[in-house]
Homo-oligomer: A and B are copies of this chain.
Amino acid sequence: MIEAAIISTGDELTTGRTTDTNAGFIADKLLTLGVDVVAILTVGDRPERLRWAWTEALRLAHLVIATGGLGPTADDLTTETIAALFARRLVTDPEVAARIRQLFALFNRPMPDNNLKQAAFPHGAVIVPNPLGTAPGYRLEVGSPADPRHLVVLPGVPREMRPMLVDSVLPWVATLAGDEPIGCRTFQTFGISESGLDEVIATIPGEGRWSFRANFPEVSVRVTVRGRDIAARLDAFAREVYAQLGPYIYGEGDTSMEVEIGRLLCERRLTVGVAESCTGGLVGHRLTNVAGSSAYFRGAIAAYANAVKEEMLGVPRALLERHGAVSEEVAAAMAEGARRVLGVDVAVATTGIAGPDGGSADKPVGTVCIGLAAAAGGTTRRYQLWGTREWVKLLASQIALDWVRRHVLGLPLLEIGRRDPVPAAPGREGVAPG
């Protein structure tokens, strides 16, 4: 097991102007190689702070991965700091310099001289190509041959850093981490809690390291195995995971609920439409986050006012008066209306009380009714959700999307939220009332 430290550099991080997403991304990826992150050190663009970070990081770990400070301006100090700390002279790489000149020419822009700074590397560095920007990264071995330390330096722009890490750095880290093969599979789930997953996973035999990552309202589960027969052992784990958790797993690897729904709808040549009340447009927004969604998504009607539910979706006024807008009856009529007026194969509807006001004893904040209409008929259900307005909207949109997925796959409806609206132990995020 090797250990790593991460350095995140930039005044934007130490002044709170930007949230650091790089360190978490790197830590998560390192974990798939069995590399443990001992610390993340974040400093601004100041020589003495960078020196502190590098000195401490190398004291803590044999592998240090840093992002930021590779830009062309005077406050980008990472390379100078490393060169000075390890007494390496800076060497300009002619190929990198030519590429930077070329990029500026391509965009018809004059190149400021200091941009060539990005072509200078500490002597001995191995360049890590940056397909999406001007500044390549690099790695460098320092220390004694008996106790080598490995430095990796990447740009701070996440869009550039991520492919560089995944395509160039991780395969090299894998060789560092030893000859022992390692592999993993990541299952994306919705509708079951982290502790619920944990209980199920605990019953699965076999040598694997399981980890969870909660990203409300979803949880991903990853299993990492080392040694022999990686593929066969991962397949065996996957069979067990699907056997026990099947309906909760919407995909594997880097994907999302809306991407998976898009794939399913395309495969089966089905179209989808939405009638939204409490989600206000969020379901449509999420469906259209997928490139090419116009192939299956025809439209969404966010009918917030009751008159709009009547006029645009044909929900009978009597139904609204008798059951209230937040009712399974109205959810059913909204879904059926959307299916008709949008001319789609499947329509899903949301109506609920997102809060923080508007609740009653009968229908407290978090009450959400979902409806689905398809050629074979309709289904509705009432859920008791919890949390802030934002959470109720997000969770309602997720359930609506999951209904579409389960409908297409012929799976039973989600049971989440059927439980009492009782918070778990006070003070635990994710389950307390908002």
Contact = CB atoms under 8 A, between A and B. Distances in A.
A25 B20 CA distance: 11
Q: How big is the A interface, by class?
A: 35 or more
A389 interface: yes
A117 to B, nearest CB: 13
- Of the candidates A292, A427, A429, the one having the most CB atoms from chain B within 10 angstroms of its own CB is A427
A380 interface: no
A15 B37 contact: yes
Given A21-B19, A60-B52, A304-B288, A14 B28 contact: no
A210 B354 CA distance: 38
A268 interface: no
- Of the candidates A135, A341, A429, the one having the most CB atoms from chain B within 10 angstroms of its own CB is A429
Interface string A400-428: 00000000000000000000001101111
Given A294-B304, A304-B298, A39 B37 contact: no
28 contacts: A13-B23, A13-B27, A14-B27, A15-B211, A15-B213, A18-B24, A19-B19, A39-B43, A39-B49, A40-B42, A41-B41, A41-B42, A134-B425, A158-B429, A279-B285, A279-B288, A281-B283, A281-B285, A281-B288, A284-B285, A291-B355, A291-B357, A292-B357, A298-B304, A299-B303, A300-B300, A301-B302, A312-B342
Given A16-B25, A115-B425, A291-B389, 15 more contacts: A14-B27, A14-B40, A40-B42, A109-B425, A130-B427, A134-B427, A276-B281, A280-B285, A280-B288, A281-B282, A288-B304, A288-B393, A298-B305, A299-B303, A299-B304
